[in-house]
């Protein structure tokens, strides 16, 4: 039995469905992420799990028991808020003790568990400090400690890293992974940052316009997106509009107006004449000097239009002779790479026929 089951849940605001017939199951011990752009319904869904909002249709089950009509304070579900929402008039220790006091734990147990939890988030020295004396990262850790101290069945995290700067955010990501593994509490994490979701999660539900577009592991989402939305939302990708011209020879023959003909892996059920898009990750696109021999059939010539040097990698935008601009990501330190290309260089662009994913529609 799943720890949390969301069954056909719909929530409307003024006739508009913020969450539209969402069904999913979250297993105990999982680091589960709801990922999507703002307004996709992920926060509404989170608030329904916490109890601050009730679904118009459908039901939520925690440990097999319905959550409908159960007030937030009665749910064994705690939230780490985006703004942290630390109590400014209480010390760090007072903040962390709060949920234990609400649960009427004995005084000695509260003291011991506050101490343990402070150690868990590396704030042993800060128990007597007030929230306004802490840095952003420290506040974040207090909020986590307060959410975890009473061992909730579920910890909900609402964009908790949004307010941190890039370097701190990366550190906190590593800490979050370790923390979740150590305490074994199930995390439901809400974010619009796809890299964060990929880095942290066991499974990700990508949401768009109130619906779950795809629910999968991070690597499956990245390498095998099931829709244009998911392909485009997660990472960088080339989306090439194509028409299927041949589906009979163990591969897909595709034709793109601004490019020409090329091949891709077959997709069950796809027939000649269908339209769709080929989703191709930039790092799977090879760029070589025009005179070099390339043993790939998907091969086009063009000129480097723009490039973005990023230190470890360079992102090239190559205008192909057919007019299409393709993005290619090349590692700068690859063996045998004599030099970087410059804008205006004539190059050959190629990719393996199984590099891209054909998406229907």
Partner 1 sequence: MDERREARESGSGGWTRWAVAGPPTVFLLAFFLVPAFIVVAASFREPGEFGGLVPLAAGWRAAFSMEAYRFLSGDLVYAQIFASSFAVAFATTLICVVLAYPLAWLIARSPRRRRDLLVLLVILPFASNFLVRIYAWIMLLGPANLLYTPFAVIAGMVYVHLPFMVLPLYTNLEKHDPALLEAAQDLGANAWTRFWRVTFPLSLPGIYSGSALVFIPVLGMFAVPELLGGTGDILIGNLIKEQFLDNRDWPLGSALSIGLTIAVLACAGIAAAGARRGLQGTEAVS
Footprint on this chain of partner 1 (rule: CB under 8 A): 50-52, 71-73, 77-79, 81, 83, 85-91, 98-99, 102-103, 130-132, 146-147, 150
Comparing CB distances to partner 1, the nearer of 26 and 100 is: 100
Task: Report in angstroms how near the CB of residue 357 gets to partner 1 at its nearest.
Answer: 41
Helices of type H across 189-327: 194-200, 218-223, 228-233
**CB nearer partner 1, residue 130 or residue 177:** 130
Question: In this complex, which beta carbon is closest to partner 1, that of residue 73 or of residue 292?
Answer: 73
As a whole number of angstroms, the longest Cα–Cα distance in the chain is 78
Q: Which is nearer to partner 1, 83 or 195 (CB)?
A: 83
* Number of Cβ atoms within 10 Å of the Cβ of 295: 6
Beta strands in the chain (DSSP E): 4-13, 16-26, 31-35, 57-62, 65-66, 77-80, 154-158, 186-191, 203-208, 211-216, 238-246, 252-256, 260-264, 275-280, 286-289, 298-309, 313-320, 325-331, 346-351, 357-360
The first and second tokens of residue 148, run together, are 């975890």
CB of 288 to partner 1, least distance (A): 51
Minimum separation from the CB atom of position 76 to partner 1 (A): 9
- Let me know the angle formed at the C-alpha of 162 by 308 and 4, rounded to the nearest 5 degrees: 120
Which own/partner contact pairs does 49-52 have at CB distance under 8 Å and 24+ positions apart? Answer: 49/4, 49/6, 49/77, 49/154, 49/156, 49/188, 50/75, 50/77, 50/79, 50/156, 51/75, 51/77
Query: Cβ closer to partner 1: 9 or 86?
Result: 86
Residue 32 CB, shortest distance to partner 1, in Å, is 18
What's the CA gap between 289 and 259, in Å, rounded?
A: 19
At closest approach, how far in Å is the CB of 246 from partner 1?
57
Q: Which is nearer to partner 1, 132 or 167 (CB)?
A: 132
In whole angstroms, what is the distance from residue 333 CA to residue 259 CA? 29
CB 22 to partner 1: min, Å: 21
How far apart CA 199 and CA 170 sit, in angstroms, is 10
Nearer of residues 65 and 89 to partner 1, judged by Cβ? 89
CB of 156 to partner 1, least distance (A): 8
């Amino acid at each position: 039995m799943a720890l949390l089951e969301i069954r056909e849940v719909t929530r409307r605001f003024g006739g508009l469905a913020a969450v539209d017939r969402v069904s999913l199951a979250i297993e105990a011990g999982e680091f589960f992420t709801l990922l999507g752009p703002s307004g996709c319904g992920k926060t509404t869904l989170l608030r329904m799990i916490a109890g601050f909002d009730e679904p118009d249709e459908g039901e939520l089950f925690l440990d097999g028991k319905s959550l409908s009509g159960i007030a937030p304070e009665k749910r064994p579900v705690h939230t780490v808020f985006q703004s942290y929402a630390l109590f400014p008039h209480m010390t760090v220790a007072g903040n962390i003790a709060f949920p234990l006091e609400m649960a009427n734990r004995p005084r000695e147990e509260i003291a011991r568990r506050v101490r343990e939890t402070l150690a868990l988030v590396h704030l042993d020295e800060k128990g007597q400090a007030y929230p306004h004396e802490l840095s952003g990262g420290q506040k974040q850790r207090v909020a986590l400690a307060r959410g975890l101290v009473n061992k909730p069945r579920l910890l909900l995290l609402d964009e908790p890293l949004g307010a941190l700067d890039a370097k701190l955010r990366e550190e906190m990501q590593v800490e979050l992974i370790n923390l979740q593994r150590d305490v074994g509490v199930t995390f439901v994490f809400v974010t619009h940052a796809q890299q964060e979701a990929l880095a942290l999660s066991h499974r990700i539900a990508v949401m768009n316009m109130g619906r779950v577009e795809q629910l999968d592991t991070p690597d499956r989402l990245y390498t095998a997106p099931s829709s244009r939305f998911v392909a485009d939302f997660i990472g960088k990708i080339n989306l090439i509009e194509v028409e299927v011209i041949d589906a009979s020879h163990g591969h897909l023959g595709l034709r793109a107006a601004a490019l020409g003909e090329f091949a891709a892996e077959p997709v069950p059920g796809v027939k000649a004449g269908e339209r769709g898009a080929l989703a191709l990750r930039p790092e799977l696109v090879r760029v070589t000097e025009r005179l070099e021999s390339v043993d790939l059939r998907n091969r086009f010539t063009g000129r480097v239009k723009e490039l973005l040097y990023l230190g470890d990698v360079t992102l090239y935008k190559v205008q192909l002779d057919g007019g299409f601009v393709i993005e290619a990501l090349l590692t700068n330190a690859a063996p045998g790479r004599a030099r970087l290309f410059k804008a205006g260089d004539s190059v050959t662009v190629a990719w393996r026929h199984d590099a891209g994913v054909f998406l229907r529609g």
